[in-house]
Chains A and B, each alone.
Chain A
Amino acid sequence: DAMVIQNPRYQVTQFGKPVTLSCSQTLNHNVMYWYQQKSSQAPKLLFHYYDKDFNNEADTPDNFQSRRPNTSFCFLDIRSPGLGDAAMYLCATSRSPGQGADTQYFGPGTRLTVL
């Protein structure tokens, strides 16, 4: 089945220790998104890629970076995780960025804990 896969599902890191989260997709979608979601809050968009065109949200901290080496894979790097970065990180994909019926499909998420 076509899907969005995230690894790992649970990640524990230490304060200040870099961590990388990964996402892959078999849907052949052009657009990939990274969201941060804290408990009982709306998902917050960090980045999105249309193909390899990178789009950084204005309020995404510099501590977060992203890479998309090819259509299928996307990575989220957190250079120096703080306690406030503990959250669920969601990867999503869609076919194209500019069409109203362009549904976003989510992976299962990575739950990040910072000790």
Chain B
Amino acid sequence: GQNIDQPTEMTATEGAIVQINCTYQTSGFNGLFWYQQHAGEAPTFLSYNVLDGLEEKGRFSSFLSRSKGYSYLLLKELQMKDSASYLCAVMDSNYQLIWGAGTKLIIKP
């Protein structure tokens, strides 16, 4: 079966750095997405990786290793507004998005 694993919850301090990991086992691979979802709201697109390596976008960076079936989302200079769930999703060989359950990130002052 297809599977996406992420930690259920993480806690970090305002101003710090946090890394949210995602491992996947899917039928084929056509890219990995990270979405941010605030409580009660819809997911919003953060990043897309299809090649190995690091993609940087402001305070957020996303890394991919296809051989390891592994990605992480790195958030720097954490702000209180970064408190949200972060969902990892992989596009499989049928171009369907396989979603993880999300990592709830709690930011403390």
- Greatest chain B CB density within 10 A among A40, A100, A103 is at A100
Supplied contacts A40-B101, A42-B102, A100-B50, 14 more A-B pairs, CB within 8 Å: A40-B8, A40-B85, A41-B101, A42-B4, A45-B96, A90-B43, A98-B95, A100-B91, A101-B48, A102-B91, A103-B45, A104-B33, A105-B45, A106-B44
Q: B residues engaging A (CB < 8 A)?
A: 4, 8, 30-31, 33, 40-45, 48, 50, 85, 87, 91, 95-97, 99-102, 104
Instruction: Given A42-B100, A100-B91, A101-B48, verify A111-B33 contact (CB < 8 Å).
Output: no
Complex Cα gap A43–B44 (Å):
13
**Across the A-B interface, how many residue pairs have beta carbons closer than 8 Å?**
49
Q: Chain A contact residues: over half helix, strand or loop, or mixed?
A: loop
Contact A90 B42 (CB under 8 A): yes
Q: How far is the CB of B93 from chain A (nearest CB, A)?
A: 11
Complex Cα gap A12–B45 (Å):
28
Which residues A36-57 have CB closer than 8 A to chain B? Answer: 40-43, 45
Which residues A1-46 have CB closer than 8 A to chain B? Answer: 40-43, 45
Q: How far is the CB of A107 from chain B (nearest CB, A)?
A: 6
Quick one: which of A45, A100, A103, A108 contacts B42, CB cutoff 8 A? A108
Residues of chain A within 8 A (CB-CB) of B45 are 103-105
Residues of chain A within 8 A (CB-CB) of B97 are 45, 104
Identity of the chain A residue whose Cβ is nearest the Cβ of B39 in the assembled complex: A39
Contact B33 A103 (CB under 8 A): yes
Residues of chain B within 8 A (CB-CB) of A101 are 31, 48, 50
Contact B48 A109 (CB under 8 A): no
Identity of the chain A residue whose Cβ is nearest the Cβ of B85 in the assembled complex: A40
Contact B40 A43 (CB under 8 A): no
Contact B95 A97 (CB under 8 A): yes
Q: How far is the CB of A1 from chain B (nearest CB, A)?
A: 14
Contact A42 B42 (CB under 8 A): no
* Interface 0/1 of A66-105, CB less than 8 Å to B: 0000000000000000000000101000000111111111
